[in-house]
């Protein structure tokens, strides 16, 4: 397997799907001439031409709606948001059109399209550009949501999303584009709705998705030196959710920590805790603990930003808490 960056893995997925299916096209701000704000679409304009790789005006609501219309008549658009923070301007098309059209048409009009781009905090981009947008999308029936943490999953989940007959939001980690990892050769597709145990353990389950997976693995490495075996469960897909893998892990370790980069109030962790309480309560030896971003808009000041983000040290502390090691 080749070791490539998260960015290169996404680029491979886009190129392979554009090559495989003539109905697939990419559209968004600066995806063509500039090759994408994060260079994910590098080389695609030269290879596939301006009818398949389309620069749009700075109007998220407009081009998201154009993508919905294209999907309704049989194409498979990939709509890139320069950042999912900007998708807030397009939520009417995403939520009220893409996600609901199949249901409202009695199953007659599918909307096979992808919304993709970076989400979460980067480095000092301040409050309006640092939001983890997954919970807003996950809340809505009719749209699938994936959050890849590794290059292999970035490629595999994006390819699966393009081929799916429902709208799928592919939420990429803004700080992950330069992360390297092994990616299987060939037509690598990761099915939607399947979590993956990134590290086996017997003492506590840390459940997470996206960029925080790397924090969980760091915390697991630190705790291993103290004789604690942490199992890291990467959800990968947030809707549909792999309930079985979550519950199997908790039933094995009897303790759980949920880690996410979003806000705590009505975050994805609330749903995971509810699931564990409903389906695995008798297996728990301690209450489930959540680790999240601080419940504030992301500060611009570097020291405050570092304070607001979840850390590996917080994950270690949470694991120690459920293990009664404090």
Q: Which two tokens stand for residue 4?
A: 């490539």
Q: What is the mean pLDDT of residues 97-120?
A: 97
Let me know if residue 169 belongs to a domain.
yes
Q: Are residues 83 and 12 in the same domain?
A: yes
Last residue of a domain, one of 159, 183, 207: 183
Q: Which two tokens stand for residue 166?
A: 């429902």
- Please, which pLDDT band fits residue 215 given cuts at 50, 70 and 90? very high
Q: Are residues 56 and 200 in the same domain?
A: no
- Please, which pLDDT band fits residue 165 given cuts at 50, 70 and 90? very high
- Please, which pLDDT band fits residue 1 given cuts at 50, 70 and 90? confident
Percent of the chain whose pLDDT exceeds 90: 99
Let me know if residue 189 belongs to a domain.
no
Q: How far apart are CA 152 and CA 298, in angstroms?
A: 29
β-pair type (24-28, 76-80): parallel
Last residue of a domain, one of 183, 206, 225: 183
pLDDT at 326 over 90: no
Residue 89 has a pLDDT of 96
- N-to-C CA span, the chain: 42
In 10 A of CB 182, how many CB atoms?
12
Contact 174/116 with Cβ under 8 angstroms?
no
Residue 276 domain boundaries: 196-322
Number of separate domains in the chain:
2
pLDDT one-digit tens code per residue, 260-295: 999 999 999 999 999 999 999 999 999 999 999 999
Contact 116/81 with Cβ under 8 angstroms?
yes
Q: Are residues 208 and 179 in the same domain?
A: no
Q: Are residues 109 and 38 in the same domain?
A: yes
Q: Are residues 38 and 165 in the same domain?
A: yes
Q: Are residues 216 and 171 in the same domain?
A: no
Q: What is the mean pLDDT of residues 241-264?
A: 97
Q: Are residues 127 and 211 in the same domain?
A: no
CATH code for the domain of 260: 3.40.50.920
Q: Are residues 157 and 297 in the same domain?
A: no
pTM assigned to the model = 0.96
Mean of per-residue pLDDT scores for the chain: 97
Contact 239/144 with Cβ under 8 angstroms?
yes
Last residue of a domain, one of 183, 208, 239: 183
- Please, which pLDDT band fits residue 178 given cuts at 50, 70 and 90? very high
Q: Are residues 22 and 139 in the same domain?
A: yes
Indicate the Cα dihedral angle 10, 120, 195, 282, nearest 10°: 180
pLDDT one-digit tens code per residue, 30-72: 999 999 999 999 999 999 999 999 999 999 999 999 999 999 9
Let me know if residue 188 belongs to a domain.
no
Q: Are residues 261 and 306 in the same domain?
A: yes
Q: Are residues 220 and 103 in the same domain?
A: no
Let me know if residue 160 belongs to a domain.
yes
Q: What positions carry a catalytic annotation?
A: 60, 129
Q: Are residues 22 and 146 in the same domain?
A: yes
Q: What is the mean pLDDT of residues 80-84?
A: 97
CATH code for the domain of 22: 3.40.50.970
Let me know if residue 21 belongs to a domain.
yes
Q: How far apart are CA 64 and CA 80, in angstroms?
A: 9
Dihedrals phi, psi of 126, to nearest 5 degrees: 70, -175
Q: What is the mean pLDDT of residues 211-217?
A: 98
Three-state helix/strand/coil letters over the chain: CEEEEHHHHHHHHHHHHHHHCCCEEEEECCCCCCCCCCCCCCCHHHHHCCCCEEECCCCHHHHHHHHHHHHHCCCEEEEECCCHHHHHHHHHHHHHHHCCHHHHCCCCCCCCCEEEEEECCCCCCCHHHCCCCHHHHHCCCCCEEECCCCHHHHHHHHHHHHHCCCCEEEEEECCCCCCEEEECCCCCCCCCCCCEEEECCCCEEEEECCCHHHHHHHHHHHHHCCCCCEEEEECCEEECCCHHHHHHHHHHHCCEEEECCCCCCCCHHHHHHHHHHHHHHHHCCCCCEEECCCCCCCCCCHHHHHHHCCCHHHHHHHHHHHCCCC
């Amino acid at each position: 397997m080749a070791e490539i960056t998260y960015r290169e893995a996404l680029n491979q997925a886009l190129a392979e799907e554009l090559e495989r299916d003539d109905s697939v096209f990419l559209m968004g701000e600066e995806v063509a001439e500039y090759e994408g704000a994060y260079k994910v679409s590098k080389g695609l304009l030269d290879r596939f031409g301006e009818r398949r790789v389309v620069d749009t005006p700075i109007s998220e609501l407009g081009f998201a709606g154009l993508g919905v219309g294209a999907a309704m008549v049989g194409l498979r658009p990939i709509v890139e948001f320069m950042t999912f923070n900007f998708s807030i301007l397009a939520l009417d098309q995403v939520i009220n059109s893409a996600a609901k059209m199949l249901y409202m048409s009695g199953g007659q009009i599918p909307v096979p399209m992808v919304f993709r781009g970076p989400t979460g905090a980067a480095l000092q981009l301040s409050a309006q550009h640092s939001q983890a947008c997954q919970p807003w999308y996950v809340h809505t029936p009719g749209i699938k949501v994936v959050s890849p943490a590794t290059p292999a999953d970035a490629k595999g989940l994006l390819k699966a999303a393009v081929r799916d007959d429902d709208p799928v939001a592919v939420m990429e980690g803004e700080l992950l584009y330069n992360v390297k990892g092994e990616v299987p050769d060939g037509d690598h597709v990761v099915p939607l709705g399947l979590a993956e145990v990134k590290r086996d353990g017997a003492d506590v389950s840390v459940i997470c998705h996206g960029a925080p997976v790397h924090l969980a693995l760091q915390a697991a490495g630190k705790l291993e030196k103290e004789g604690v075996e942490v199992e890291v469960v990467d959800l990968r897909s947030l809707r549909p959710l792999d309930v079985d893998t979550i519950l199997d892990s908790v039933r094995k370790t009897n303790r759980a920590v949920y880690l996410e980069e979003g806000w705590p109030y009505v975050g994805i962790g609330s749903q995971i805790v509810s699931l564990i309480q409903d389906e695995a309560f008798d297996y728990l030896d301690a209450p489930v603990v959540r680790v999240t971003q601080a419940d504030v808009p992301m500060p611009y000041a570097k020291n405050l930003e570092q304070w607001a983000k979840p850390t590996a040290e917080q994950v270690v502390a949470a694991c120690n808490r459920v293990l009664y090691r404090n």
